Structure 1
């Protein structure tokens, strides 16, 4: 584990390395405590670089055994070696030579889970972003592309399976029960895409025929005995491969495609060329162990990693500042895939809820950064919602601006022009300028400038002249290191809705550019005047969430109620109702702080019932609409002086009001939605379960609610219903006999299934109230919990800190103190996981003064710890700045 060096990397400092490594040959002789790695690197000096230029290779905690050039061992005076750096002082005068390096590793002791490590007796690698330098000295940067040949040697009884990138190129027996396998990847790739897996694993095998008729062998490797649990993942993989051919013209390029599921993994998954490595929670699933949300996540993440084969692997990023070029673009692609596989409207609402819950707070806090950062101290800390989710929204806006057909033409040109290259954001923008003829220089500020733009909008209607006028003003709030912002190009989709719910026609317009229902906002202030509008329309804004902005709209509540019932744009209809709920919750918060009991309009609670019972809407859509804005969402909209207890109280009061006003209809609908068919993870079935389970949540607030939830738990035939009922019991009826029994029954039934037990930990960490911190502390000693496993840590500690507003933000600061202690404990093993946990305190300045002071104390206790890793120190210092 490297401690903080204080080095800051800047985009403007980028320059190509003096050397290239066109070919890499690796031999691994595997051993838990002493794996020997022999790297044979073909080194080329760039044209124009002096022969005296030193060759400087990256390392991280390495033990060097040998260095040789063209068969000659180097004398000690010819190189300088530390665990983190190897400098060849006097390379050969020839412009091309062969460098041989031997290093020794201890995979069994690698608890950081970066580089080569052991997970449940399986050798595994994770090299993104800078893990390859923990295996051998290398030019460990994305713009060094190399063709890899890999030989793996291991005892056959210990590791009968030997996998690496590319296609199999040979295998055989060795002396003393050892064997070997050789893999060759013909496509040049950066070191972060290298992968190796060795161990005893079961295999689910299948095949796929590409659009050109090539047969590809598919394999998903899992813990022996769990092969059947990979069936949905395999189905998702094949659908992903077909969709990428149809939607983007991208055909798979190797003879084999393998996925390996491991239980100890820092991320969700990794797109290594031809050998994706997955956290097993995103591969293993059946109705008994996985919820509908798990199935949807598996589908999306399988697709995401597969789509990286072209957007990330065949075309990689020039440097880590361009991370969004592969991640944001690939998130956009997996969102489109899921929208085609499921419901486009429901998927879009879910995407926006995620963006607002994770990326908007990032933009509003001390960790704000552009989609393409300009500087970093630890690149692992920039795998953020801004890079991924906002990066996807930027790609979506490009499609909105140029149109779907032109967007596809631009993507085709991107693949043609940059295949085999390490590209930049400028390269990406340029292809769309070339195919569309548009100047996207102002639009590209979305990549370069942090912050969430706000649009202030007012409207007037003149019956006499038949003119409807919009006045729009854009602003971008200051963010760390960026106090002055430039004006953005914002594509704002809109609709004018008449009293009959149909679009209002207009003869023409003057003012800002309007194309295909989109206002292109480029200046600080815009006026758009529509003519021929006889009656005042209701204004539907940011349809489909065409831009990741906030809106301050002068709009009557009557318009919001009308749009919530009649808007033809499914997203905007949901948004109108969600805005009404948010406004009611903010009003309730203020009433509670003022010592009043919150009250809610019958019109609002009645609208919830109408939406629930509207058979013209998909059940999944109705379920999303009925889900109240989260406590963190309300805190974000309030902005400052946050009292989480008051937010919670107001939210509970609104939930009880909706339940009480719609008791009979909710109960009748709940009964009608019971599923008597065999379980299916398809979107329609999942939507019915989602609606029934949110109705259960409301009904549980009424008399005999605990008994209903207990019955739901006992009668459940799948994990979706069982986990939903357990959540209702634990969160709504904490400490009740029904809740205690259900938690005990769940534990007894699933004690040996780690992934299911993660749900048990997560539910208990979510229980609101001041006593949860003590419960979480006790659960860290549970036999099924391990601080060394990222999934366990995220399920318990991560959930408590990020999802439990009242428990984590306990007024006396005990939640913060416990959290700080735990983060430092995790950091001793895994700095990357600890750093991501620490982001839970990014919004500490928005709290009321008492909590704010205690949160700051906790952050300082982390910052003042000795030998803090670069990962954690970077997050804490930026959070405190």
Structure 2
């Protein structure tokens, strides 16, 4: 385990490697207790640098031999590295032999065992836990890998690339043995290495790409799970087809493999040709997976496949450039999911969901102790920078590029990017330059140095807009100002380039023509204004009526917008805006205004008739899709409300929101009944957007009806929910009914939970849902927190499995503020104890959970002092890992800088 004294790594200190490794020939004799690794490398000096020793990374492995050109050489250990002096000037062969113990690897980084098989996870720095190596992304080599293992226990042997040889071997201690030899013809960094040796079953599909070549697609899973792989395979096929059609990027290997494993720290990993997945993002059938699960599988399968080009063929020069691959590939998987959605409304729903995630996860990160630019300047532990800023905000930066150059221009830029850099390890600057150079007349090319501030400045920009209509001259002037608040190590920010998609909406709902002063004629009813100054003014002419500005359409930039619109303006947008995102946003703004007034005491802690009628009109609107209605009728989360406040009282927010939810449930009772009955999906299950949307709205309606009924001591709707729970033909309806009972604290909830566990006790992913549901129910009289403590002792709970730990601990601490932030500090004690337990087992997982305290200084008393005490308790652990130490120490640094 790395300890908390790890040094600070700075981007400005980057230097090329002193040596290049051109080829790697690995041989594994796989054994859970003692795996032997023979690593033969072709190495050469970097002629651009003066001669120096070769320093190789290694961690938790036992070195047995070092040979240079087949002769033993002297070596030494220094600062945790293997150092070899006096090496030849000419290219040479370096052979290293070592052992490791996969079954003791609870960190799940490097080579480890799970369910009786061997698996790897090498990103970011796991390869050094397998063998000594230059474990950095700018060292790219061609790999040949031979796997040897007992045939009965490990009949499937996989590694990157193409299978070139396999066969039988002499019997060993565990019976007959066999081997498989794999060769990956494409140079790659060590973090993309993978191997799997396990007893698996396989779904296969041959496909023919546009070039006429045949490729074998495979999904490997444990026995008993094969029938849950159809959707993953279909998603993989769709990904291959889409990437070639949209960007001209074909599948480049003879086969492409996905392997599912139950113990995995991440969602999935894009190892070249051999993607290793958390089972959560592979396994699905209607009985065990919800519509959300199906959508998640499609998105993650797409994401990892798209990495084959944006991440594998072109990779990062150093880990500071992580968003080069992750931000770009998140953008690509979002575009893929929107294209797969089909209809304009379904595309908009996907965009709303992505923005909601950005605001609930990344915006708080920008405002917290771990705030960092999309391209960080420094880190202690790189695993801590697999963040929403790098991924989701990085995706928004790429999306802004597409907005500034157009969809076709962006495709040209991607083509130029690969023409220049295929097979290289490059930087975010290289990518931005390629997009700009392919579109020399675009605003991006003109403003590129300024645009790149999105990569170098942390924090979320604030955009303030005010409009003034002059009736005599028929002009409308829009004044827009941008500011950026200080963030850690960045007290002053410079102006960004902000693409602001916008339109003007008449009070009668019409879309008004847009003609800027100086233009000869209107340019449609929607356009993109480019803000690159601290303050800008835009005057529209020939405006026949006072408009309502519809700004930041489609969320065209990751900013916080204050447009000073009154309720009447927001109601106009909610009723008439042609942009579905801004229509949803108007409703959310109306709800947020009321929630904040109730929390701050500046208004009643209840909903007014105008808002309720607006929500009724959305629910009953015949022209709106059910999926959109579901999103529009969902109040902003407690976490999002908290982010709007300087001082946060989680219990006050919870009480106000719960009161307004109950009021909305009661006021629209008849409308919820209509919506529930009208949106039942008949026939066989399909996760298509229309059916999914109908189920989502029906489930929301049922939850509201149960909430209302329990408050009135009426047993009818809870009874109907229980019957639906028992009889449901798919997991979406079954879980939706269970959620309705649990969230309403119905007397039938306990019986339903017991029945659910009995039905699915052998389905690990479903039992994860069972744990998470119980600890994310709305807190009431401390019941939910007490249940969480009891569930820790449940025989199905284990800290060692990341999915299970997340389903209880992370779900409670991150997704249930009222249950976690307790006046008696019990929630913080619970958090600290779990962090300390997890840190000794799996520091990466512990560090992710530690992030819940990023914004502790915004808490009101007594929460603030209790949170500080919990942080200090964790920080005081003598052997705290560098993963957790970086998080808690940065959080505690806020104590001296926040009033």
Q: What interval of TM-score do these two structures reach, taking the shorter chain for normalisation?
A: over 0.9
8 Å CA contact 2:31–2:149 kept in 1: the answer is: yes
Q: Choose from 404, 407, 410 the match for 1:404.
A: 407
1:53-452, aligned counterparts within 5 Å?
53-74=52-73, 78-81=74-77, 84-92=80-88, 94-176=89-171, 177-342=176-341, 343-437=346-440, 438-439=445-446, 440-452=448-460
In structure 2, what is the Cα distance between the partners aligned to 1:507 and 1:58? 61
- The 3 A distance-change label for structure 1 pair 581 and 435 is same
Q: Aligned match of 1:486 in 480, 487, 494?
A: 494
SS across alignment from 1:538 = strand
Q: Following the alignment from structure 1 to structure 2, what is the Cα–Cα distance between the partners of residues 288 and 194?
A: 35
Task: Name the structure 2 match of 1:495.
Answer: 503
Distance 1:590 1:809 in 2: 18
Distance across 2 between alignment mates of 1:599 and 1:319: 52
Per-residue deviation, 1:48: 4.1
1:806-825 matches, cutoff 5 A: 806-825=818-837
Match of 2:272, SS? coil
Q: Give TM-score, length-normalised by structure 1.
A: 0.97
The question of whether the paired residues in 1 share the 8 Å contact of 2:218 and 2:258 is answered with yes
Measure, in 1, the Cα distance between the counterparts of 2:12 and 2:671.
Answer: 61
Deviation per CA, 1:86-134, whole angstroms, max 9, x where unpaired? 0002212x32000000010100110000000001011000000000000
SS at match of 1:169: strand
Paired residue secondary structure (2:647) = coil
Distance 2:429 2:651 in 1: 47
1:507 positional shift:
4.1
Runs of 4+ in 1 over 4 A off after TM superposition: 513-516
| Aligned: 1:46 with 2:53 | no
Name the CA distance, whole Å, in 2 between partners of 1:249 and 1:836: 37
Q: Which moved more, 1:203-212 or 1:352-361?
A: 203-212
Contact 2:513 2:523 in 1 (8 A): no
Post-superposition Cα deviations, 1:493-527, rounded to whole Å, max 9, x if no partner, equal: 1110113322212443269x999611111111111
CA distance in 1, matches of 2:78, 2:39: 17
Distance 1:646 1:712, change over 3 A: farther
Matched, 1:666 2:669: no
Q: Conserved in 2, the CA contact under 8 Å of 1:2 and 1:60? A: no
Kindly indicate whether residue 618 of structure 2 is the aligned counterpart of residue 611 of structure 1.
Answer: yes
What is the Cα deviation at residue 357 of structure 1?
0.4
Does structure 1 conserve the Cα–Cα contact (< 8 Å) formed by 2:768 and 2:807?
A: yes
3-state DSSP class of the match of 1:405?
A: helix
In structure 1, the residue matched to 2:690 is 684
Task: Look up the SS of the partner of 1:442 in the other structure.
Answer: helix
Superposed CA deviations along residues 675-734 of structure 1, whole A, max 9, x for unmatched, are 22111111111111001111112111223343333233223221111111212211221x
Secondary structure of 1:700's aligned partner: helix
Tell me, yes or no, if the aligned pair for 1:4 and 1:869 is still in contact at 8 Å.
Answer: yes
Distance across 1 between alignment mates of 2:50 and 2:619: 73
Superposed displacement of residue 237, structure 1: 0.3
What is the CA-CA distance between 1:5 and the residue it aligns to?
3.1
Q: CA RMSD in A?
A: 1.5
> CA–CA distance in 2 between the matches of 1:800 and 1:103?
42
Task: Indicate the residue corresponding to 1:473 in structure 2.
Answer: 481
Whole-Å Cα distance in 2 between the matches of residues 238 and 163 of structure 1?
21
1:700–1:708 CA contact under 8 A, matched in 2: no
Matched-pair contact (CA < 8 Å) for 1:834–1:872: yes
Residues 1:123 and 1:459: Cα distance change in structure 2 (over 3 Å): same
Name the SS of the counterpart of 1:811 in structure 2. Answer: coil
Q: Is the 8 A contact 1:666 1:699 kept in 2?
A: yes
Cα separation, 2, equivalents of 1:746 and 1:506: 56
Q: Give the aligned partner of residue 601 of structure 1.
A: 608
Deviation at residue 144 of structure 1 after TM alignment? 0.2
**1:698 partnered with 2:698:** no
Determine whether 1:784 maps to 2:796.
yes
**Cα deviation, residue 238, structure 1:** 0.1
User: Does structure 2 conserve the Cα–Cα contact (< 8 Å) formed by 1:510 and 1:528?
Assistant: no
- The DSSP-based 3-state class of the residue aligned with 1:175 is strand
- Distance in 1, matches of 2:321 and 2:516, equals 42
Q: What CA distance in whole angstroms lies between the structure 1 residues aligned with 2:857 and 2:741? A: 33
- Find the aligned partners of 1:32 and 1:514 in 2 and give their Cα distance: 67
Q: Which residue of 2 aligns with 1:582?
A: 592
Structure 1 partner of 2:36 = 36
- Could you tell me how far 1:597 is from its partner in structure 2? 6.0
**1:82 deviation in Å?**
6.3
Q: 1:702 aligns to what SS in structure 2?
A: helix
Deviations 1:724-772 (A, max 9, x none): 1212211221xx4301101111111111111100000000111232232
Alignment check: 8 A CA contact 1:57 1:137 kept: yes
Report deviation, 1:235.
0.4
Q: Is there any run of 5+ residues in structure 2 with no aligned partner, and where?
A: 894-899
Q: 1:65 to 1:699 in 2, by over 3 A?
A: same
CA–CA distance in 1 between the matches of 2:125 and 2:148?
24
Looking at structure 2, the residues matched to 514 and 445 of structure 1 have their Cα atoms a distance apart, in angstroms, of 30
Question: For the Cα contact (< 8 Å) 1:62–1:83, is it kept in 2?
Answer: no
The separation in 1 between residues aligned to 2:534 and 2:214, in whole angstroms, is 55
Distance in 1 (CA, whole Å) between partners of 2:493 and 2:648 is: 27
Query: Match of 2:660?
Result: 654
Distance 1:729 1:666 in 2: 16
SS state of the match for residue 476, structure 2?
A: strand
Q: Is 2:707–2:740's contact at 8 Å kept on the other side of the alignment?
A: no
Asked if 2 retains the 8 angstrom alpha-carbon contact of 1:510 and 1:529, the reply is: no
Quote the offset at 1:429 in angstroms: 1.1
Alignment partners' CA distance in 1, 2:220 and 2:635: 40
Q: Distance in 2 between matches of 1:485 and 1:612?
A: 43
1:6, distance to aligned residue in structure 2 (A): 3.0
Check conservation: 1:467, 1:529, Cα contact below 8 A.
Answer: yes
Q: Which of these residues, 856, 876, 881, is aligned with residue 864 of structure 1?
A: 876
- Residues paired across the two proteins, number: 869
* SS in structure 1 of the partner of residue 517 of structure 2: strand
Contact kept in structure 2, 1:61 and 1:83, CA below 8 Å: no
Q: What SS is found at the alignment partner of 2:112?
A: strand
Identify the residue that residue 896 of structure 2 maps to in structure 1. none
State how far apart, in whole Å, the 2-side matches of 1:542 and 1:776 are. Answer: 41
Aligned to 1:756: 766
